[in-house]
Amino acid sequence: MSLMGLRKAGMTVCLLMGAVAGFSAKADVPATPAPLQAQAPLVTPLHDADIDYVLTGPAGQHLHQRMRWTSTSWRQRIEPEGSATVMLTDYRTHILMVLDGTKRTATVMPAPGGSFAAPGTPAAGLWRRMGQGRIAGEACTIWESADTDRHPTTFCYTEDGLMLGAVHDGKPVVEAVSVSRSPQPLDVFDPPPGYHRVESPH
């Protein structure tokens, strides 16, 4: 779900993607600091995952986006609805491949961002626990953070690192509609046979 980071609202969600108004997972437990509570969420899935999100664009348009993750090799696949483009990110090698189904090309470039949190590692930065929520039948903890421009962002993360929803600067951005933790076939994280590899100019 960096999503894997939502630091700017847009129509692409990464695994490391967050005020609760308009968020279907309303906080129902007040934020109470406790020494035994985690002070930041896990933002990278601990297990394989297949999540269907609904994204809300700046003009209120809605778009489905499928995100798949394999925990064995820290790789992510993002498929925006209605697009011939698929994004494959390898977080071990920090390589992003953009697949173009019309040209049958795989454009290779460095993965954006440098804030990847390994599975099981709490996110960096300042976070505030807001309470508990439920999205797509899954319990999640609502966390508040801020983007690079210091706009409030609220995320709902499961205990095993799945990002289920985000509200940026008071506006809904993304919400999961279905969640699966079934094992993911490794071949979906590679370009299909016959794709031509293209190195992106730096």
DSSP states of 101-129: TTTTEEEEEEPS-S-PPPTTPBPSS--EE
Cα angle 189, 175, 119; round to 5: 45
pLDDT at 12 over 50: no
Q: What is the pLDDT of residues 118-167, one digit of tens each?
A: 999 999 989 999 999 999 999 999 999 876 667 789 999 999 999 999 99
pLDDT for residue 42: 96
pLDDT for residue 154: 95
Cα angle 32, 23, 129; round to 5: 20
Looking from the CA of 188 toward its CB, the CA atoms found within 13 Å total 16
pLDDT for residue 112: 84
pLDDT for residue 202: 64
- Of residues 153 and 31, more confidence is placed in 153
pLDDT for residue 58: 83
CB-CB neighbours of 54 under 10 Å:
16
pLDDT for residue 147: 63
Q: What average pLDDT does the segment 33-42 reach?
A: 71
Q: Which residues pair with 153 in a beta bridge?
A: 145, 168
Report the relative pairing of strands 196-199 and 105-110 from DSSP bridges: parallel
Q: Give the model's confidence band at 174: pLDDT under 50 very low, under 70 low, under 90 confident, else very high.
A: very high
Q: Are 91 and 69 in contact (CB under 8 A)?
A: no
Q: What is the pLDDT of residues 43-102, one digit of tens each?
A: 999 999 999 999 998 888 899 999 999 999 999 999 999 999 999 999 999 999 999 999
The one-letter code for the residue type at 67 is: M
pLDDT for residue 182: 98
Q: What average pLDDT does the segment 169-173 reach?
A: 87
pLDDT for residue 11: 40
